[in-house]
Structure 1
Amino acid sequence: MTIKVLVVDDSALIRSLLAEIIKQAPELELVGAAPDAYVAKDMVKELNPDVITLDIEMPKVDGLTFLDRLMKARPTPVLMISTLTEQGADATIRSLELGAIDFIPKPKLNVAKGLSEYQQEIVSKIKVAAKSKPKKRSEGLSRAKAIPLSYKGTETIVGIGASTGGTEAIRQVLQQLSPAFPATVITQHMPPTFTKSFAARLDSLCDMRVKEAEDGERILPGSAYIAPGDKHLTIVKSGADYRIRLDDGPLVSGHKPSVDVMFDSLAKVVGNNTIATILTGMGKDGAKGMVNLKSTGAITMAQDEASCVVYGMPKAAVDMGGTEDTYSLDKMSQALTTAVEKKGGGTRL
């Protein structure tokens, strides 16, 4: 089945480049290209696109305002076109909260060369977006109360891996976790500037402390550490402490940071004191690491298909036998809390 794509961007060059990439992909059909939100609004009604690529920075009505209105009135899979700047990262994180499925960074330098190199990624993300399940957006950002937990010690570490759709899934999970929750390490596929903005946004919304991980820092309860977008996050033991070690090695399972690298590290260093979950995402990263974790006696789980934006990474983990249970996203925080209570507290302080 052909995927109908609408391009919305105020830059004629970007519209032209995206149009050419879409036209060259056999399974994609360019149904229109709009220079602003006003034209795009009419095109959405007339052309009924399967996927929209949307520029964040547009005149008159910016991309975020258009996206907000679209997801309230007519939920459609949207890929944001974002700049790799701090301001662009903040806006992109906001767009994912508003319902965008994923984003495509704009190249910094030679635009034509950059987008040409991104061709495979763009086509792949459009295809994934077409299969995703966007939800109608309600007013405001819901914030559930944290689940009560009595936990002391630093033995247990929780690991979370995610990709496409993961920023919102991680937010929903962390917002329900108690400030007494064990130290949590998180790998989400995104560029460096974006992980810093993502961590800061989560920190403002959650009872737990959330930060971008730093090399050598001690892992403490009540804190969640996001892997930087250009480094693998691993765990090392330093005396009685667990500490973070950032690794600048090659891509693993097609990614850096890689969920597999983080899970393998947890399996090796933390073992059966680990609780791990894999959330929505495209591909297989994390599945092998989940199998390794389960073999150590760690508690492992995954998000179920019905609540995933993209049932890729969790499916791979389930198919490989790495997970004990699957849970819907709205039950995941409780499942993790119950697992922590089952493991019990340790004495390492």
Structure 2
Amino acid sequence: MPLGRKIRTLIVDDSAMVRKILSMGLSQDPEIEVVGTAADPRVAMQYLVKDKPDVITLDLEMPNMDGLTFLRGLMSKSPIPTVVISSQTQRSAQATVDALAAGAVDVIAKPKMELGGGLNTMMESIAQRVKVAARAQVGQAPAKAPFGQGGMPQRVAPAVTQRSLPPVAAAAAGDIPTWMIAIGASTGGVQALTHVLEAMPVSTPPIVIVQHMPEGFTASFANRLDQTCALRVREAKDGDVLENGLVLIAPGGPRHMKIQPKGNRFVVELVEGPEVCFSRPAVDVLFKSVAQHAKGRVSSAILTGMGRDGAEGQLAIRLSGGRTVAQDEASCVVFGMPHAAAEVGAPEKLVPLSEMPSWLLNSCPKAGARSGLESYRV
């Protein structure tokens, strides 16, 4: 997009009221120009033929052609940064997660039909997300992990050979973990996390994740990953015990996620609190609790996303003796969070998304290391 030009935005939604609210709200931002509104994808295609917009806001449940089908076609032929505007129902939540996996940049809860300061604040947030989306790199989805017999993911990331992987301790789910992995992500994180987790073997230490996502969507995301990964993936609940081969994703909503020691185990704690780095749950909150309690027995990664969330928390992990990495700019949809982490010296290095699974596995303890302190250095 040329510097100095307004962000040309197309609104696609079957609700006339939502189209009006979004059009009026986005037009109030001096950096955004609404070039058109469309009641369904077929009308939207007419705009695309005339003049390609910089950003599309997209409803998923529409007549004639659903938004997900439209998005998949768009991303395969002429990718445009797309922000999904979704209602919070179980059906739409699943479709929204599928849309993010297909290449949508962000998801925003559909604005409520009410006037007043609440709507104005919401529109300011939507405008900000549209402006971030305009700078996103789209159209280069990460390669999926190869699949073996029975449709289950193989245990090696693409372009990573079995010989290059470390002998991660082959631990049963009931064994007491001696290491953990903590990951933070935001814009573009659904695709990035899918790539990373589908490459992880069942012997992987417990993984705790904060992925910025509105309330009501993280359960569908976890369920989707659980079906495609060798690992077990769940939306975290208060009191969940960290186990080898288990991934716990912080639920979107009003609470932060922390880890706390309980006997010789670690458990999830969901706590209320103000937003941190404009986020709740926040990566910083999770990472700082990990730095405090894991005592260096942790590998952490910051993936694609806007903002600065996770930078200070990952620095705390590094200072505690833990391993730290962040995604490089070329493979990020938005380089904001990794860049902020690099600015404060939090990650040991920046790596492409394609190398992230092997980096994390190589940083875990060697097979047979009972203390959890002996690890591969990469």
Aligned match of 1:229? 252
Q: Percent identity?
A: 42
- What corresponds to 2:36 in structure 1? 32
CA distance 1:324–1:25, shift in 2 (3 Å): same
1:267 has 2:291 as partner = yes
2:144 matches 1:142: yes
Q: 1:310 and 1:344, CA in 2 relative to 1: closer, same or farther beyond 3 A?
A: farther
Residue 133 (structure 2) aligns with: 129
Post-superposition Cα deviations, 1:200-233, rounded to whole Å, max 9, x if no partner, equal 1110110000001111121100000001112211
Asked if the contact 1:182–1:223 (Cα under 8 Å) also holds between the matched residues in 2, the reply is: yes
Amino acid at match of 2:87: T
Displacement of 1:238 in angstroms is 1.1
The aligned counterpart of 2:324 is 300
Q: How far is 1:342 from its partner?
A: 5.7
- The residue type paired with residue 242 of structure 2 is I
Match of 1:74 in 2: 78
Q: Alignment RMSD, CA only?
A: 1.9
Cα distance in 2 for residues equivalent to 1:275 and 1:137: 25
Letter of the 1:6 partner, please give it. Answer: L
Q: Structure 2 counterpart of 1:158, which letter?
A: I
* Counterpart secondary structure, 1:118: helix
SS in 1 for 2:363: helix
Q: What residue number does 1:155 align with?
A: 178
**Secondary structure, in 3 states, of the residue corresponding to 1:40?**
helix
Query: Residue 88 of structure 1 corresponds to which residue in structure 2?
Result: 92
Deviations 1:30-63 (A, max 9, x none): 1111111111101012121000111111101111
Name the TM-score, length of structure 1 as normaliser.
0.94
Tell me, yes or no, if the aligned pair for 1:287 and 1:313 is still in contact at 8 Å.
Answer: yes
State the one-letter code of the partner of 1:308: C
Task: Describe the shift of the 1:299–1:342 C-alpha distance in structure 2 as closer, same or farther (beyond 3 A).
Answer: farther
**How many Å apart are 1:341 and its aligned residue?**
4.0
Conserved? CA contact 2:141–2:191, under 8 Å: no
CA displacement, residues 256-303 of structure 1 (integer Å, 9 cap, x when unaligned): 111000000000000210110000011001000011111011000000
**Counterpart Cα distance in 1 of 2:168 and 2:361:** 10
Change (3 A) 1:266 1:86: same
The answer as to whether partners of 1:84 and 1:108 remain within 8 angstroms in 2 is: no
Correspondence for 1:12 = 16
TM-score (norm 2): 0.87
Change (3 A) 1:109 1:215: farther
- How many equivalent pairs are there? 346
Is the 1:17–1:115 Cα contact (8 Å) retained in structure 2? no
- Does residue 220 (structure 1) correspond to residue 243 (structure 2)? The answer is yes
Provide the C-alpha distance between the structure 1 equivalents of 2:350 and 2:371, rounded to a whole number of angstroms.
30
Q: Higher helix share goes to which structure? A: 1
Looking at structure 1, the residues matched to 292 and 320 of structure 2 have their Cα atoms a distance apart, in angstroms, of 9
Counterpart amino acid of residue 143 in structure 1:
A
Q: Distance in 1 between matches of 2:60 and 2:208?
A: 30
Q: Partner amino acid for 1:290?
A: Q
Of 47, 60, 63, the match for 1:56? 60
| Structure 2 contact 112–119 (Cα < 8 Å) conserved | no
Q: Report the Cα offset of residue 345 of structure 1.
A: 3.8
**How many Å separate the matches in 1 of 2:125 and 2:95?**
21
Aligned equivalents of 2:24, 2:367: Cα separation in 1: 54
Deviates more, 1:12-21 or 1:257-266: 12-21
